[in-house]
Structure formats: structure tokens, C-alpha cells
Chains A and B, each alone.
Chain A
Amino acid sequence: ETGVTQTPRHLVMGMTNKKSLKCEQHLGHNAMYWYKQSAKKPLELMFVYNFKEQTENNSVPSRFSPECPNSSHLFLHLHTLQPEDSALYLCASSRRLDGVMGYTFGSGTRLTVV
């Protein structure tokens, strides 16, 4: 375990479903991130939160809706997704927004949209 826990590990959902991904860390980190990893593509940053405030939205479609109720928890709410949204979604955290001391990643949620 890295200290960053993601649930569920696997998710299959239809295009009309609504589901949520959860991430939690108890490392005392103040910044949390969502990344998307599609097949044959580099990891893409989606959202950044610092002290539970969103600081970056990397042009992500509105069918992905993040929520950060506190510095330890991060959610990604999904609705009306497309098959091309199938990917591995990774959550990460860091002590500071500038990444000094490094980033820690969770195990990811493998999402399949059918």
C-alpha cells in the first residue's frame, strides 16, 4: 500500500449510469490530483486540488465532476460517459502543490464504459 487508497479497483458502467470514484490519503498531504491513463497514451492530468480548493481543470469534459470535501478525500463523479472514457483513473497526492518531496499514487480504478 502506498498510503493513497482508491475504490473501486474495477468499474463497468453503461453510458447512462452515474457512478463515483473515491480516493483517500492519510499521508498528511495537502494537494490531490486525478490523472487519466488511456491505452498507448501518456498519463494526462485532469484536476488539481490544494487544501480542498480546485486549482486546475485541464480542459476536462463536464461529464467528469470532481469533489474534494477535505484534504484527505477526493471524488470523481461520472455521468453520461462515452466508451472512449474507458481508461485507468489514478489519484495522487503530494505534500505541497509544487511537488517538492514527490507525489504518491493510488492503485487506480480501471473503468470500462459499455
Chain B
Amino acid sequence: GIQVEQSPPDLILQEGANSTLRCNFSDSVNNLQWFHQNPWGQLINLFYIPSGTKQNGRLSATTVATERYSLLYISSSQTTDSGVYFCAVSTGANSKLTFGKGITLSVRP
């Protein structure tokens, strides 16, 4: 099946700093999403981005489908950005949404 690798596994930032989270995947995808899991476990959809670039406030994401990677940018980070960021993909061949292991972000005041 498709492999999803996220890096770095852990990230510590000072409030106000910028960061880039990376997701590499091993096959063509028809769906790629970035999720933020808050401390209570809820997975919040940040972006549906199988290709191209999107922005939502301080967050933006870019997927280069031909090179099989996606980047999530966080600018002017805040303590509420802390949590685990997951990249998840599906290939369309079946319904399985495959998750990466996640990136644990800690933003310190």
C-alpha cells in the first residue's frame, strides 16, 4: 500500500516563529488532507489539497503531486497551534485513508 512519511517527527517553536511541516507519499493520490489533532483528540481538517496551494489565515499548504510531497506552513505560531499534525492520503483505488505518523508541535509562550 501507499507509504506516508512526515517530518520532522517533533517540533518545538517559540511563539511567533514560522515553521514548515513536510509530507512525502509513495504513489499518486486523489486526496490529500492535513489535519490538526487537538489535545482532546479531535481531528480538525485544515486543508483538502491533492494539488496546488491554499491559504487559510496563518496557515497555508502546497502539494506538488508530480513530486509526491506536500508542505504545511505555519506563520506567526501561537500556543493554540500546539498538537499533532497529520497528513493523510487516499489513492482512489479504494476508500482507505492512509495516515502518516504525525508531527508533534509544541509552541512555547
Contacts and interface: CB of A to CB of B under 8 A. Distances in A.
B99 interface: yes
A102 B42 contact: no
B46 to A, nearest CB: 11
B41 A98 contact: no
Interface string B35-53: 1000011111100100000
A107 B31 contact: no
A34 interface: no
The size class of the interface chain B forms with chain A is 20 to 34
B31 A98 contact: yes
A108 interface: yes
Contact of B95 (A99, A101, A104, A105): A99
Nearest to B42: A107
A60 interface: no
Residue in A100, A103, A106 with the greatest tally of chain B CB atoms within 10 Å: A103
A105 B42 contact: yes
A102 B95 contact: no
A42 B100 contact: yes
B97 A100 contact: no
A48 interface: yes
A98 B91 CA distance: 8
Given A42-B100, A98-B31, A101-B48, A110 B41 contact: yes
Interface of B: 30-31, 33, 35, 40-45, 48, 86, 88, 90, 92, 94-97, 99-102
Interface of A: 2, 31, 33, 37, 42-43, 45, 48, 50, 55-56, 88, 90, 92, 94, 97-108, 110
Given A98-B31, A99-B90, 13 more contacts: A2-B44, A48-B95, A55-B95, A90-B43, A98-B92, A99-B92, A100-B92, A103-B33, A103-B45, A105-B35, A105-B45, A107-B40, A110-B41
